Structure 1
Amino acid sequence: MDYRMLEHRIANIVERMHAIGGDVSQVKIEAAASSQQIAQCENQLGCKLPKSFKKVLLEFSSALYLRWVFPDDFQLDGELDGIFSGMLHWDLGLLKEINDNKNAWITKVFSDPENDYDKVWHYTLAFYEVGNGDYIAFDLVENSLDACVIYLSHDDGEGHGYKLADNFIDFLETWSRIAFVGGEDWQWVAFTANAQSGLLPESQCAKSFRSLLKLTI
């Protein structure tokens, strides 16, 4: 993972949002995590963190936050008309709390692993709370060392169960090229082809989006 490139893309996104009069929350990039912090978190969670997620935490940052919002008078058209904001965040120190919240949904609402909708929630490790009851999570069903990234919708969202990327590093690489649009599924679903395609930064929608915002990422 080229972390300098990631930081460059974040800076480019912030610059373009300021240029069009958008609002950008303070960018926070915390120091990398220690092996001890990772081990403590894994002990709390009762599972190992996926390989590429752990790599980013150890080599780059234990916690990152960025959010932008278009100005009120900025409107995209066509398939992109639902986009109004973007947000990237993760925090090693909050993983236990995030997953306690996610697991509460499973216990109270999505408890049946035999139900096609419910089972998507099971055997997952969430790292991103969208803020509306949805989550972005790692799919642990395959018991893989490097789990894919999926979307969990609590209210029949179109993106429920969609694979966003093959792993966390792929997720950062592809999502950064569409300015971390979302996290609500109805903001990023235009940049996918189907439930298994992942985010497609070279799709026509993605190219049009970057062109409209004059993003060179």
Structure 2
Amino acid sequence: MPFSFEVIRERIDRIADSVIAGGGVVQAMRMGAPAAEEQVAEAERRLGAELPAGFRQVLLRCSGEFDFRWFLDEDAELPSPYGDIFRGELGWSLARLPEIDEGRRNWVKEVFSNPDNEYDKVWQNKLAFMEVGNGDYLALDLGEDDGPVVYLSHADGKGHGFVLGRNFIDFLERGSRIGFVGPEDFQWVIFADSGHGGLNAEGHEAAGFRKLMGFEP
């Protein structure tokens, strides 16, 4: 099935409506215009790297700036196994991409510089596109052809090195079906069956969460 950003938009609308109906808050819900080829080329020049095909496609055909954030009501307590979930967030900005990745590069320079260390290696040869807010990042793996989305933890988090999507489009498809829960790894780790296959949007936990939250049509 071809990728459709309209499907993602419809899911976002449904997520927002459900969160608000449950007493929560949608803090941001902005989808900018598609980027121009010249803007992508300039970002690549500043980064010194080509953007993976899936990410480039989303920037050029869908949105160069995206920001979606929601929070449950502060008194809400979800039942097990969803008790750690309290918000969802996803964002990217072509204009800020070099600035965001500079943060990752600084971590590599100062802390995760050893290419022979398995933990450090996860931080290397990546392109960070989103700051989690606690020192962690969501990033694209530049060592793979289609740029899988990988979680980078600075403090031995459960999700360090987990692949959240086989490429950026796959990540959007999977993440949108569970409300873009997170981005902290302790919130979404229950939806990751293994470290390498991507978020499991078809599993029992995901289906139960959609039913609980009312995300399904």
Give me the TM-score of the superposition, normalised by structure 2. Answer: 0.97
Would you say 1:25 and 2:21 are equivalent positions?
no
Amino acid at match of 1:214: G
The corresponding residue for 2:97 is: 95
Percent identity of paired positions between Structure 1 and Structure 2? 45
Query: Which shows bigger deviation, 71-80 or 45-54?
Result: 71-80
The corresponding residue for 1:11 is: 13
Q: RMSD of aligned C-alpha atoms?
A: 0.9
Q: By how many angstroms is 1:26 displaced?
A: 2.9
The corresponding residue for 1:44 is: 46
The corresponding residue for 2:207 is: 207
CA deviation string 1:157-207 (max 9, x = no partner): 000000111000000000000000000000000001111121011111101
Q: State which of 127, 130, 134 in structure 2 corresponds to 1:125.
A: 127
Q: Tell me, in whole angstroms, the C-alpha distance in 2 between the residues paired with 1:117 and 1:156.
A: 9
Q: By how many angstroms is 1:147 displaced?
A: 1.1
The corresponding residue for 1:181 is: 181
Q: Tell me, in whole angstroms, the C-alpha distance in 2 between the residues paired with 1:33 and 1:152.
A: 26
The corresponding residue for 1:64 is: 66
Gaps of 5+ in 1: none
2:166–2:197 CA contact under 8 A, matched in 1: no
The corresponding residue for 2:162 is: 162
Q: By how many angstroms is 1:104 displaced?
A: 0.4
Amino acid at match of 2:50: K
Amino acid at match of 2:180: F
Amino acid at match of 1:19: A
Moved over 6 A (4+): none
CA deviation string 1:23-79 (max 9, x = no partner): 111311111000000000000000000001000100010010010000022111222
Q: By how many angstroms is 1:135 displaced?
A: 0.4
Q: Tell me, in whole angstroms, the C-alpha distance in 1 between the residues paired with 2:176 and 2:132.
A: 17
Q: By how many angstroms is 1:122 displaced?
A: 0.5
Q: By how many angstroms is 1:88 displaced?
A: 1.1
Would you say 1:197 and 2:197 are equivalent positions?
yes
Q: Tell me, in whole angstroms, the C-alpha distance in 1 between the residues paired with 2:182 and 2:116.
A: 30
Q: Tell me, in whole angstroms, the C-alpha distance in 2 between the residues paired with 1:186 and 1:126.
A: 19
Give me the TM-score of the superposition, normalised by structure 1. Answer: 0.97
